[in-house]
Amino acid sequence: MSDPIAASDPPQGAARSEIEVPGVRPPRRVLMGPGPSDVPDEVLAALSRTTIGHLDPEFLRIMDELQQMLRAVFRTRNELTLAVSGTGSAGMETCVVNLIEPGDRMLVCISGVFGRRMADVARRAGADVRTIERPFGEVFTLEEIERAAREHAPKVVGIVHAETSTGAHQPLQNLADIVHQAGALLLVDCVTSLGGMPVEVDAWGLDAVYSGTQKCLSCPPGLAPVTFSPRAVEVIETRRTPVQSWYLDLTMVRQYWGGERTYHHTAPINMNYALHEALRLVLAEGLESRWRRHTTNHRALRAGLEAMGLRFFVAAEHRLPMLNAVWVPEGCDEAAVRRQLLRDFGIEIGAGLGPVKGKVWRIGLMGASCCPRNVLLLLAALEQCLKRQGLDVESGAATAAAADAYGNTD
Report the chain's C-alpha Rg in angstroms: 23
| Predicted pLDDT of residue 288 | 98
Distance, in Å, from the CA atom of 352 to the CA atom of 121, rounded to the nearest integer, reads 22
> Are 137 and 111 in contact, with CB atoms under 8 Å apart?
yes
Q: What is the pLDDT of residues 254-291, one digit of tens each?
A: 999 988 889 999 999 999 999 999 999 999 999 999 99
Q: Which runs of E-coded beta strand occur in 86-150?
A: 105-110, 128-133
Buried b (16+ CB within 10 A) or exposed e, 251-284: eebbebbeeeeeebeebbbbbbbbbbbbbbbbee
| Predicted pLDDT of residue 19 | 84
The arithmetic mean of pLDDT across residues 342-364, rounded, is: 97
Cβ contacts of 329 within 8 Å, gap of 6 or more: 309, 310, 386, 389, 391
- Tell me, what DSSP letter sits at residue 329? P
- CATH 3.90.1150.10 residue ranges in the chain? 286-405
Report whether pLDDT(2) > 50: no
Report whether pLDDT(92) > 50: yes
Encoded amino acid at 347, one letter: I
Mean pLDDT score of the chain, rounded to an integer? 95
Q: What is the pLDDT of residues 9-47, one digit of tens each?
A: 555 655 666 888 889 999 999 999 999 999 999 999 999
CATH class of 286-405: alpha beta
Give the SS3 label for residue 88: helix
- CATH 3.40.640.10 residue ranges in the chain? 41-284
Q: What is the CATH number of domain 41-284?
A: 3.40.640.10
